[in-house]
Amino acid sequence: MNRIDRWFGEHTTPAFIGFAVAGDPDPETSVRVANTLVSAGVDILELGMPFSDPVADGPTIQRAGQRALAAGTTPDEVFAVARAIRVSCEVPIVLLTYFNLVWNRGIEVFYRDARDAGIDGIPIVHMPVEESDGVREAASAAGIAPIFLVAPTTSVVRQEAIIARASGFLYLVSVLGVTGVRDRVAEETVSLIRRVRCRTGLPLAVGFGISKPGHAAACCGAGADAVIVGSAIVEIIERHLDDEDAMMDALSAYIFSMRAATGAKPG
């Protein structure tokens, strides 16, 4: 069984999914960052594959990707990072990437390499579900969950098409626009969770803009099965580039506070 499916099958409280860019600020440090996130309470780890044209990412994650690329992080290095993390933990690992990188490597090769690195799920940010057949076949052969994004503007027809093709969880984009810290959870986010919840039993994970305990509590209270936090974690890494011990301490404290806010699922 896929580790993502196993996690949601064995737990009744929402998952805390923590994101970091693989290779930021360098591959070796990013492994230590990931291990710190897991030790601090991340239930599912999401790694971003650095890309030169990350159209869905805000400035914080763009800078992280640039640092990773400057440090020589290639797709091969990303898979090496995942393998190094997998040595010491069994948490599900999700790899967020862009289709350019998958296509350039070869779809089947990419998914075989991801499987061998211990990856459990892959969302491809800008891949239309209508063009996903080849990816889903490769994902199925590798035992990797094809994870799709649903935005507030996604029509009911397209939601149904996505739900029919997805596994692992659905990635709900909380707001229009790119990644980045926001002040509050928008009412459209709560509405999106409820609208999708009535159409599927797949776990719903909410990302883009989730950064505070109150955000996590609001999403979980509306029926989300997980929250995804990225930019806030990457900001902590960026603030402590010159002091790794302080970086790890700040990451641990932040994850602890956010993980506690997911609480139990609403009754």
Which of 157, 120, 133 has the alpha carbon at shortest distance from 6? 120
Judge whether 183 counts as a catalytic residue. no
Contact 153, 192 (CB under 8 A): no
Predicted local confidence at residue 182, as pLDDT: 45
Compute the average pLDDT of residues 236-240: 97
Predicted local confidence at residue 263, as pLDDT: 61
User: Which member of 5, 10, 28, 57 is catalytic?
Assistant: 57
Residue position matching structure tokens 């891949």: 127
What is the pLDDT of the chain when averaged over all its residues? 91
Judge whether 46 counts as a catalytic residue. yes
User: Which member of 43, 46, 77, 113 is catalytic?
Assistant: 46
Report in angstroms the alpha-carbon separations of 252 from 18, 91, 186.
Answer: 11, 17, 27
DSSP 265: P
Per-residue pLDDT tens over the stretch 48-63: 999 988 777 889 999 9
- Residues of the chain with pLDDT > 70: what percent? 94
pTM score, whole prediction: 0.92
Task: Set out the domains of the chain in order of their start, with CATH numbers.
Answer: 3-146+224-260 (3.20.20.70)
